[in-house]
Each structure stands twice: as structure tokens, then as C-alpha cells.
Structure 1
């Protein structure tokens, strides 16, 4: 936007953490219920293994729903090329080792697309304001002084 009063990084990171916890809360509750349902008296190692397996499913479901198949196939092919043949053969596109990076890449791709589209909007406003000021003969007026209030009105309202 060109405004210098942007919140500090700590505030932005705090907002990101709060929103992430809010979005992932249903998945975490489901995982917690799955872990609690698999507790049985007996061997602690078996309880931990069963609890982790039960908690893994809600996360896998979430990642499957939000990771694009193109990225999943990319990481599956990459693992096939880089990993030992026996491990790569047993790998599926629904395994967490494939879903986690595919989800991350999907989210980063979407974030860059959104950022680029917003940036185009800001650039268009800057170009229009600069051309209008030049057409009006206001060469001494700084386009940013006129563009910032218009950007705030346009994008924040």
C-alpha cells in the first residue's frame, strides 16, 4: 500500500498462529478423541502406537482434502526417483510423508497467487492516479499522496 504503519512481525505472526489454531481446532479435537478412544489397560507401547495411528487419520483426511493432486503426484514421483526402490514402491499418495509437503506447496502456491492478484490491484491504482495527475497538469503533486487514501478506501472498505 505504501503506508509505513504496518503491524510488526510479532503481531502478524501472532495473528497467523491464532488463525491456524482456529482452523485446525476441529482436526485436533478429532485426533484427540481418536487417541482417547484407543486407550486400553496393558502395554504402554501398544497404547502409544495405537493412539498415534488414530490421531494420524484426521490429519491425513485434512491434508488429503486440501493438497492438490498435482503436488501429491510430484512428491510421489520425486520419492520414487530419490528413495530406495523398496521404500518408494510401498509409498502411496495418501501417506503423510507425501501429503505434508504437497499441502505446504499447495498453500504457498495459493498464497503467491493471492498476493500477485492484490499487487496487480495496487499497481493499477498507482498507474491510473499517476496518469490522471499528469493529464491534469499536476506534475508537482506526488502520486503516492493521492494514491494511498484511494487505496485505503478501495481495498480496506
Structure 2
């Protein structure tokens, strides 16, 4: 099996990171073509590498996907909110980290589904049908991800990083480069996540205050309020169907 640009694009798509890998840098299109030619020629006399070496090179490239997943999708906001929710409930390791990461991952896939579908429609399918080359496929994938990130980025954050970089005024949002958009997007996601986490934390904080005041009035100063308040917080969370509200609100927050 020969490694060419189509192999890398389809492999990235199967791992769920096609659009992310394509849009990592503005110069990725040229790099992808260069990498494809280099890998094809490294075997000597233009012969491709063996399948085992192809897999080794591919797995090495996949090491960059975790950082792209964290920084260029909805994952950051979701995992932070869920972590704050766990602390608000007074639970240390329940749900465990693996469960929180799994919930965040699959909810991120749900939120990013329109972007993934757009990348597949405008880039992967035409490239698979040999209607466009690898450079055009990469460019179209980057445009789809760029649009999602622009919608979730605050204008003030963009202006701040553009000012730091001394970048000129941009005629349209499409002209904003990834070098400025990515840090602005991450900053906006962190701010939004902490705002949502603060609103989630408030009702549980009220329960803690009520329980602590009741214990103080009863003279039970040696008894930890957390032990008493935790069952009440869990009961409140279950009664209001907290998980459905939290997951639904997080998903809906990306549509506003």
C-alpha cells in the first residue's frame, strides 16, 4: 500500500482529527505535500515504505492530536465545567477522571458534528473522488474549523492578541490567522467555562452555608459540614435531573 496524501487525510479522518490536523497551521497544505513526497521517496528509488513503517510514522504523527483536541474544539470548556461540578458536589473522585474525560469527549463529538460533517462534505469526499488535490482539501478543512472557532471567540480577546502581535486590521473574520485565533479561542473558552462553573457552584454553596450555620447553632463545631451537606447536594442534583441539565446546557452554549 502506497503512502500518499490520501492515506494521511483518511487516516486522520478515521481518528476523528481530520479537520483539526488540517487546520493546525496556515502552511500545513505545503507541509502535507512535502511530507507525502518525502515518505514516498524515503524507501529509495521512489518506492514506498513497508506497511509496518507506514504505521510507525502515522502513530508518531498522532501524538499531536491530543493537544489539537484540547485546544481547538469544545473539549476544553466541557471538561472544566464537569470538573467544577464534581468539586461543587463535594466529591473527590466520583465520577472518576476517566468517566469525565469520556463524557467530555463524546459531548465534544456531538458539538463538533456539524463541523466534522462540513469537513467531510467539502474536503474529504471530493478528495477521495480525486476532484481536488491535498492542498485544497486541507484549505477547505481549515476554513470549516476556523468558522467554528470564530463563532466561539470573543471580539475583545481577538483584539487583545492582534494588538500584542501588532497585526493590521482584518477586513473580515476569515482573514484572522490561526496564530491569533487559537490563543484568543482558548482564552474565550476558559472564561466561558469558569462563568458556567460559577453559576453551577452557587446553589451548592448555599447548601453548604445553610448546613454549616445549622451545625454551628447546634454546637456541633467538630463535625465537618461537608459530611452532612453532601447527601443534600446529591439529592438536589438528582431531583432536578442535574446531569441532563448540565450536558444539555453545555451543548446549547455552543449554539449561542
TM-score, normalising length: structure 1: 0.77
The structure, 1 or 2, with the larger RCO (C-alpha pairs under 8 Å, 6+ apart) is 2
Q: Give the aligned partner of residue 126 of structure 2.
A: 37
Is residue 52 of structure 1 aligned with residue 138 of structure 2? yes
Match of 2:179 among 79, 97, 110: 97
What's the TM-score, normalizing by structure 2?
A: 0.50
Q: 1:60 to 1:139 in 2, by over 3 A?
A: closer
- Say which of 207, 217, 227 aligns to 1:145: 227
Aligned-residue CA RMSD (Å)? 2.7
Q: Offset at 1:142?
A: 4.0
Identify if the C-alpha distance between structure 1 residues 5 and 41 changes in structure 2 by more than 3 Å, giving closer, same or farther.
Answer: closer
Alignment match of 1:73 (pick from 153, 156, 159): 159
Comparing 130-139 and 19-28, the one that deviates more? 130-139
- Count of residue correspondences: 147
State which structure, 1 or 2, has the greater radius of gyration over its C-alpha atoms: 1
- In the TM superposition, 1:117-136 aligns within 5 A as 117-136=199-218
1:10 & 1:70 partners in 2: Cα distance? 35
Unaligned runs of 5+ in 1: 81-87
Is the CA contact 1:38–1:54 (under 8 Å) kept in the aligned structure 2?
no
Out of 92-101 and 145-154, give the one that drifted further.
Answer: 92-101
Are 1:3 and 2:85 counterparts?
A: no
